[in-house]
Structure 1
Amino acid sequence: MPVPPPIRKALGIYDRQMERLNQAIRQQIGYFDSIRVLPYNGFGASDGVWLKGRVLADDKVDAEQGDNELEKLANMFRRAHTDEVPEAQVRVSFGKRTVQVETSWEGFFDVDILPDESLEPEALWHDVDLELISPRPHVDQPTFRFRGEVQIPSNPRIGIISDIDDTIIKTGADTIFRQARIVLLNGPYSRTPFAGVGAFYRALQNVDGEPTNPMFYVSSSPWNMYDLFDEFFRAHDIPKGTIFLTDFGLDRDKFIAGGHDHKTRRIQRVLDTYPDLDFIFIGDTGQHDPKLYRELVYENPGRVAAVYIRDVHPNVDEERDAEVGRIAEELESEGVQMLRVEDTLDAARHACEHGYIEPADLDRVVEACRAEQARPDEPRGAIKRLASRFLA
């Protein structure tokens, strides 16, 4: 339920004033924790690349939390209560080009930078160097240099845009609190993706056995969870891509205002970046993916090759099933197939039939689906059960 505008405005003013007070104190006494620049995987083309990041003054939270439940709960709160650094100066270098950016009140920065001729033409991923110029903490910090990455596809056949929650990993993300319970209380190595997802996504990305096609992931989760998703993809051999998350806050464009508009905006920017590239959309029936993808198909005629929608609750929600069916019929009339699939293999077979993946890769998806077994999704242990009561 959206927060009424007057209340949201009042909370936003309070939030901003507290940020101003915190910054004033910091300007007087400085920082006594290490300051790190956290770059998020960017993307772009020959006419420009985009990179987002954040500057934080806190201890890094280990994505792999171990088996200690108290430690997991403590990490959950540390991740939720970050100490962002506003008005920090960050120098971003890409090839021979350099720009300097300033962080927002919540420590975020966005940078658009033009590539130069020094890039390796056949590589999909390219390094970006970042240096914290100011502020500098009072503690002994070994380095102020950090490294990010951006993907610039040179000869892609297709692009892939996928939801994360209940599309790659089962989260129960029909509510943000259930999503928080599943993701925050489980490390990347104690959760598993849906069977066959890693093999299928690798097949979609690869051309002649090499990573070639750009991958993009969208979620309604906050940016504080970025490291969890990034490490989860690494742990389960899901292709590296650009991940778009949400900035939770009290402003009108942030989480408390509700909605999934940020997904539409991010996906549209990707489509605009590659005007000559067709895309595959992958989502699920649990949230608003079918409606969102329908809107994007209408706004970008001829750009969407196929839409795969995972049915997270088959034969349970008849009303939602009927709605997804109607949307599929609408898109069919536009020349776009939207398939509602119960497992990864259904999508992989369709992709192979239409030339989006190779037959040999389909065989690998079949093998992966057979080999991978589902694990319990509910949290275990006293601490998890206690947290589940509040996050249910």
Structure 2
Amino acid sequence: MAASGGIKNKFLTWLRISNKPVVKVYRGYVQQEKAVLFGHVLRLSPLPRKKYRKNFWVNTFALLRLFITRPVQGATVKVKGIQQDVRYVTEKDGFFRLEWTPEKPFPPGWHPVEVDLITDYLGPDKPVATGEGAVYRSHPTQYGLVSDIDDTFLISHSANLRKRLRVLLTENAYSRDPFEGVVRHYQLLARAGTMPEAPNPFFYVSSSEWNLYDYILTFCEKNQLPDGVYLLSQIKRFREIWKTGQNKHVTKFARIVRILEAFPDMKFVLLGDDTQEDPNIYTSLVSHFPQQIRCVYLRRVHKNNEARTQVFVDQITAAGVPCCYFTHSAEAIRHSERIGLVEATGSKNSESR
């Protein structure tokens, strides 16, 4: 048995897979003085990627590794280093959500947080594993931004499973591209009605799985997209990889609702595309939160969905919320300037990244 275990451990090491308990902590946020942080406890998980090469087999293997996971249900996690005993018992998929009110309110900006995996046997002072994350307290700005990811700023072919898998398997976070002009638009939105040192908060809400968190984060950092909080979908196991991006979209609606309710005094800009259910979801959000939605942007990607999407666009504008259904980001930028959301910058270089 020991020899078998040794061979298994060596094989997993060669695959760069950890078979030790891991607390994966994501970015959280502060809502009305309450900190919210989430993550997963995993018994099997991929180690971070160190090198990026334009090699089909390397990229394919690196992507497949992201789905080699084994979530831990019923594990107890605790926020480290605070007086309150803030705990959570992980759900079936290993997910946890921690909420607490800091003794001293967090000032605006990012704040590191650690989460311990604890057991009754060892006690809270001897964690089995510790994960590092961060919570963001937004500046008191006028606007918040909620953006989809796939085919909104990251070219993904979400409407075609074969093409989506091909891109995921053959490219990497450094080799993939955003749509032309989209980074400029997002950077302008981050400064809309505020100053560079107090940017508007971004919430990236996607049907992509938590498996792709590091992949997406690396892509956004590499392309200088505004920093933000990521709210992704339920983690998937290796056997479910062919279902990537095909989550139930009702959960996406619920995640955005939580954001809007967390920041009731903030107006939001919604950014999505026409490949899946963004037009339907955003129309529903406008009907439920008409006073909180400043405007809606929908990228025109899937020709077969244009007529259906236009129906939703008409409903949004009829509710009194500006909506831009665009093909190129330069159109979206001009719309943002026209409605006074961002300062006019002129058309020069409007399609630059």
Q: Do these two structures clear the TM 0.5 threshold for a shared fold by scoring above it?
A: yes
Give 2:62's aligned residue: 75
Is the CA contact (8 Å cut-off) linking 1:124 and 1:212 kept in structure 2?
no
Matched, 1:43 2:29: yes
Is the CA contact (8 Å cut-off) linking 2:63 and 2:168 kept in structure 1?
no
Matched, 1:296 2:285: yes
1:113-151 residue CA offsets vs partner (Å, 9 max, x unmatched): 22332522xx23222222232499xxxxxx943321122
Give 1:14's aligned residue: none
Question: How do 1:1-392 and structure 2 match up within 5 A?
Answer: 33-57=19-43, 58-62=45-49, 65-93=52-80, 97-120=84-107, 123-134=108-119, 144-206=129-191, 207-248=194-235, 259-313=248-302, 316-317=303-304, 320-359=305-344, 362=345, 366-367=348-349, 369-370=351-352, 372=353
| CA–CA separation in structure 1 for the residues paired with 2:294 and 2:112 | 30
Gaps of at least 5 residues in structure 2 are: 1-17, 122-127, 238-242
1:144-194 residue CA offsets vs partner (Å, 9 max, x unmatched): 433211222231110111111111111110144533332343211100101
| CA–CA separation in structure 1 for the residues paired with 2:32 and 2:176 | 37
Question: Which structure features the higher share of helix residues?
Answer: 1
Is the CA contact (8 Å cut-off) linking 1:63 and 1:187 kept in structure 2?
no
1:297-338 residue CA offsets vs partner (Å, 9 max, x unmatched): 11112211111111114xx43xx3222222222222211111
1:354-390 residue CA offsets vs partner (Å, 9 max, x unmatched): 332233xx46x953623x4xxxxxxxxxxxxxxxxxx
| CA–CA separation in structure 2 for the residues paired with 1:63 and 1:191 | 17
Gaps of at least 5 residues in structure 1 are: 1-31, 137-142, 373-392
CA shift for structure 1 position 288: 1.5
- Note closer, same or farther for the CA distance 1:126–1:352 as it changes in structure 2 (3 Å cut): farther
Give 1:386's aligned residue: none
| CA–CA separation in structure 2 for the residues paired with 1:68 and 1:287 | 30
For the residue of structure 1 that corresponds to 2:27, the secondary structure is strand
- Note closer, same or farther for the CA distance 1:133–1:66 as it changes in structure 2 (3 Å cut): farther
Runs of 4+ in 1 over 6 A off after TM superposition: 254-257
* Residues 195-204 or 298-307, more deviating: 195-204
Give 2:5's aligned residue: none
| CA–CA separation in structure 2 for the residues paired with 1:300 and 1:329 | 17
Question: Which amino acid is the alignment partner of residue 293 of structure 1?
Answer: Y
1:43-67 residue CA offsets vs partner (Å, 9 max, x unmatched): 2323422211012233414175423
**Number of aligned residues:** 323
CA shift for structure 1 position 211: 4.1
Is the CA contact (8 Å cut-off) linking 1:157 and 1:277 kept in structure 2?
yes
- Note closer, same or farther for the CA distance 1:238–1:168 as it changes in structure 2 (3 Å cut): same
Measured on the aligned residues, the alpha-carbon RMSD in Å equals: 2.9
Relative to the length of structure 2, the TM-score reads 0.82
- Note closer, same or farther for the CA distance 1:258–1:168 as it changes in structure 2 (3 Å cut): closer
Is the CA contact (8 Å cut-off) linking 1:87 and 1:103 kept in structure 2?
yes
Is the CA contact (8 Å cut-off) linking 1:46 and 1:114 kept in structure 2?
no
1:260-319 residue CA offsets vs partner (Å, 9 max, x unmatched): 101100000001001111111111111121111111111112211111111114xx43xx
Is the CA contact (8 Å cut-off) linking 2:204 and 2:231 kept in structure 1?
yes
| CA–CA separation in structure 2 for the residues paired with 1:167 and 1:285 | 9
Question: Which amino acid is the alignment partner of residue 199 of structure 2?
Answer: T
Question: Which amino acid is the alignment partner of residue 348 of structure 1?
Answer: I
| CA–CA separation in structure 1 for the residues paired with 2:348 and 2:86 | 47
- Note closer, same or farther for the CA distance 1:226–1:249 as it changes in structure 2 (3 Å cut): closer
For the residue of structure 2 that corresponds to 1:367, the secondary structure is coil
For the residue of structure 2 that corresponds to 1:80, the secondary structure is coil
Question: Which amino acid is the alignment partner of residue 39 of structure 1?
Answer: V
Relative to the length of structure 1, the TM-score reads 0.74
Is the CA contact (8 Å cut-off) linking 1:124 and 1:153 kept in structure 2?
yes
* Residues 79-88 or 290-299, more deviating: 79-88
